Amino acid sequence: MKYTQEMISEIVKKQREFFRSGITLNVDRRIVQLKRLRKAVIDNKEMLSIALQEDLAKSPFEAYLCDIGPVIAEIDEMIHNLKRWARPEKHFSGLMCFPSTSTKVYKLPYGVSLIISPFNFPVLLTLGVLAAAISGGNTAVIKASSKSSSSTQALKKLITMTFEDEYVTLIDGGHDVADMCLAERFDKIFYTGSPAVAKHVLSAAAKNLTSVALELGGETGNWCIVRKDADLRDAARKIAFFKLCNAGQICININQIAVAEEVADRFLRELQKEFVRQIGTRPHHNPDYPKLITEAVYDKCERITSEYRDRVIFGGKGCRETRRYAPTIIYPVSENDELVQHELFCPILPVVPFKDEEAERIVELIAQREHPLSMYLFTSDKRWARRVMSTQQFGGGCINEVCLHMMVKGVPFNGTGHSGMGAYHGEWGFREFTHPQTVLTGSTHFNLPLREYPYSGKAGEFKMKLLKLFER
């Protein structure tokens, strides 16, 4: 379908009318809608898996592990806890508000939301965000990625047969359609993608002062630090798995590794062994290994490999026909090299050596650059690791592990600065799609003239004494 501005305006208008009817405010109805979404995902998991295979060559196992399964888990958490999350909070008004004693904080939906989802995890990062919007009581217009076209069509079919258009609708198309959506007035926008496009989204949202949540990869990528006291085999095993996952096309993936030069050779041998053990000697011909989303990304890998050919110590090959590119280790790379100044979003893995005694300098270097979405530390010095993790600014991370922080129930996920704003997953997603509304209930009896004029003379002096007493 070829969308026009008038068509999108009509979609938004109908959703606004539907929201204003008040039907989405009912929490029991929201739970029913979440159950419908869950059933639709389960009933159509094969269709979604086939679409992920066509777009990214994801195996059925990886499709379920990384895209489909987490959506079901996310919806389940919301179904089980939504009534508690949505319950108004009761607060004592305090002596300053006497004779009022009761204040409530209601969790109100924003209204009509716009969800702009990416190509790399099209099921998880579309339906996971949709579940949060539904839990908050919003309607949703989804602009899905044109790059993952098979997944977008599968999602459109799923959404169409599950929800009314005035409640949830999915729009396909390119950047021109996204701009048409951004030209409309929404009450909440949730964008997942790059910092560059996020600036455009924020600019459009600012015209209507629309609340925005951004889930971004980070301008200068996510760092992993491997100290000399790390369990090198364990670190290599986990890093290899993570870099192979979705061929590195993950916003929280490791962009570059800083490894203590005292153990660099040993670590790199272990890392190469793990790549071979997990994916074989010809990963670009392995059907389990995902492909790159477009030829442009494949060309980027070729260009980087060609530029750093003398420092490619593993990989550096691909198959253009299948768009698979082997995990490629480039070593050594300077900490100031252009290669580690940008998010790569591909299987290229630069490795930066440093003296272990200069670990604090590496941490400071990372802090001076744009805030990453994730950070990973491998070391046996837990005290150092915890201090670093509790004093640096980034979205989230792991000590002696990779990526699992985003799978923990009850905790927020997102970045800060150039890696995002806002947070979601579970209750945090519900909070992201609602605004807290404070309401105090007054009394018509026992009202004191404390706040009323006069403020001077003996009356003022007496009121001042009471005021100071009530402030305690």
Note if 270 is an active site residue: no
**Rounded-to-10 torsion of CA 336, 338, 339, 344:** 120
Residue 314 bridge partners (DSSP): 329
State the Cα–Cα distance between residues 344 and 365, nearest whole angstrom: 18
Distance of CA 341 to the CA centre of its chain: 21
Contact (CB, 8 A) for 230 and 253: no
Tally of CB atoms within 10 A around 39: 12
Q: How far is CA 398 from CA 8, 25, 90, 329, 349, in A?
A: 42, 38, 36, 22, 19
Q: How far is CA 452 from CA 399, 445, 456, in A?
A: 58, 16, 11
Is residue 414 left, alpha or beta, with left meaning phi > 0 and alpha meaning psi from -120 to 50?
A: left
| 259 DSSP assignment | E
State the Cα–Cα distance between residues 307 and 102, nearest whole angstrom: 67
The structure tokens 């009121």 sit at: 463
| 66 DSSP assignment | I
Note if 66 is an active site residue: no
Residue type, 197: V
Residue of 62, 74, 77, 215 marked active site: 215
Residue of 66, 251, 301, 398 marked active site: 251
Report, as residue numbers or ranges, the catalytic residues: 215, 251
